A and B are shown apart, each in its own frame.
Chain A
Amino acid sequence: MCLAIPGKVESISGDDPLTRMGKINFGGILKEASLAYVPEVKVGDYVIVHVGFALSRVDEEEAHKVFGYLKEMEELAELEDSDTEPPPRRDKP
């Protein structure tokens, strides 16, 4: 559950922290979201939005870690004398 998607904060409006709103750019479409729960967010940051509320700021460094880990795995696999069977791939249903 919890459909929440990442978007870029294009602009911020409102002085009161609880009613602070941001215009969020999701891949070219714009929708307003409440920034009440992410007071540290600035224009240009990415946020995760669920039902009109930003719930977290995307940590860009952490976001790349998955790919860093994959790269490490790849290098390790190349170094080892690997006789691993690849997982069976289903070409046809």
Chain B
Amino acid sequence: MEFNATCPIPISQYPRVLMAHGGGGKLMHQLIGKMFLAAFDNPLLETQRDSTVVEWTGRKLAFTTDSYVVRPIFFPGGDIGSMAIHGTVNDLAMSGARPLYLSSAFIIEEGLPMDTLWRVVCSMRDAARRCGVQIITGDTKVVDQGKGDGLLINTSGIGVVEHEQKIAPQNIQPGDVVLINGDLARHGMAIMAVREGLAFESRIESDSAPVHDEVFSLIDAGIEIHCLRDLTRGGLASALNEIAEASGRRIQVVEKSVPVREDVHAACEMLGLDPLHVACEGRFAAFIAAKDADRALTILRRQAAGAEAAVIGRVAENSGPLVTLQSAIGASRILDMPSGEQLPRIC
């Protein structure tokens, strides 16, 4: 067997890992693709979904993992703890799995106030209860001061898939309608609002929330779901580009249809950010068979969490992989994968 010991990431370009490698954009996908996927190499990993479904003794289990680091630890609408629970529950929901058990590993920076840790842990307890999951195993490490960003949490999750739909990018069809369950960019801008150097007064709260109930409402109503993807770092643009890449399809988005609250829109304008590139936490994109699109929208809108749900685009007949956007004035352009960290600009 050939053993290749050369690092696949061009060292001449990136001798060190950058923040952008964790930003949800192109550099991160390059790191994952060229290094992790290439090294770990197996057909289950190739499906590249939020949670991977495996057949085990006749049942289908979904398994996922995610790590959470956020500054500040407490932000309007949530904290790293609730984020860690919701995020992993949502990754399981993206396979249509009922979330069952989570693990929780803490990497704590020496010097973190004990009270802060307790607040986070209580928040996790409350979130887990709301989601109907149990945290059944975990780990704790403490690292030197200056090495841990305060607190890092990894949560892994197991869920059970009890439906027969194959929800994966490979099942997307031309004509599929793309729905999202609510307005965008709230999480990213809620964090910006309290970030030092950029802070502003606002009522923007993170949209961090579990979405599995919304997903089940669609599954239970017999809606034909071809793909689900939760929107996190890199926002809608990142998620749709991932799916276009994995499915080879061309996805068309209509900018006017994408719901963004006025204050979130204003905050983005002030800092020069594109709301389609800004992180969300309790949002997902659903690729629904055209025949079920209207019904799906009605079902989502009936729920408090999905009141702002909207149809934002469709899968085109022509091949991709590409994501295009029809702008507010009707002209068409590419909606690119965001490149690294979203930085505010003055120009």
Q: Which A residues have a C-beta under 8 Å from some C-beta of B? A: 1-3, 5, 26-31, 50-51, 89-90, 92-93
Contact = CB atoms under 8 A, between A and B. Distances in A.
Contacts of B203: 28
A46 to B, nearest CB: 13
B200 A51 contact: no
A31 to B, nearest CB: 4
Contacts of B193: 29
Contact of A29 (B200, B252, B324): B200
19 contacts: A3-B347, A26-B269, A26-B270, A27-B263, A27-B265, A28-B262, A29-B200, A29-B267, A30-B200, A30-B201, A31-B270, A51-B346, A89-B330, A90-B330, A90-B331, A92-B316, A92-B332, A93-B324, A93-B332
B201 A3 contact: no
A5 B269 CA distance: 7
State the 7 A-B residue pairs at the shortest beta-carbon distance, nearest first. A27-B266, A28-B263, A1-B347, A30-B201, A93-B332, A29-B202, A31-B200
Nearest to B250: A93
B332 A90 contact: yes
Q: By CB atoms of chain B within 10 A, which of A1, A30, A89 has the most?
A: A30
Interface residues of B, number: 26
Given A27-B265, A28-B266, A51-B346, A3 B330 contact: no
A6 B156 CA distance: 45
Interface of B: 193, 200-204, 252, 261-263, 265-267, 269-270, 272, 316, 324, 326, 330-333, 345-347
Given A5-B270, A93-B252, A93-B324, A29 B346 contact: no
Nearest to A2: B347
For the complex, would chain A's binding face be called helix, strand, loop or mixed by DSSP majority? Answer: loop
- The DSSP consensus for interface residues of chain B is mixed
Contacts of B346: 1-3, 50-51
A30 B200 CA distance: 6
A30 B201 CA distance: 5
Contacts of B270: 5, 26, 29, 31
Contacts of A1: 346-347
B262 A27 contact: yes
A26 B147 CA distance: 38
Nearest to A25: B266
Contacts of A50: 346
A26 B252 CA distance: 30
Interface centre among A1, A2, A50, A92 (most CB of B within 10 A): A92
Contacts of B200: 29-31
A3 B202 contact: no
A22 B316 CA distance: 49
Nearest to A51: B346
Contacts of B324: 93
A11 B332 CA distance: 41
Nearest to A5: B269
Contacts of A29: 193, 200-202, 204, 263, 266-267, 270
A27 to B, nearest CB: 3
A27 B263 CA distance: 5
Nearest to A1: B347
Contacts of B261: 28
Contacts of A3: 272, 345-347
A50 to B, nearest CB: 7
B202 A30 contact: yes
B185 to A, nearest CB: 13
Contacts of B332: 90, 92-93
A2 B266 CA distance: 16
Nearest to B189: A29
Residue among A2, A50, A51, A93 with max Cβ neighbours from chain B (10 Å)? A93
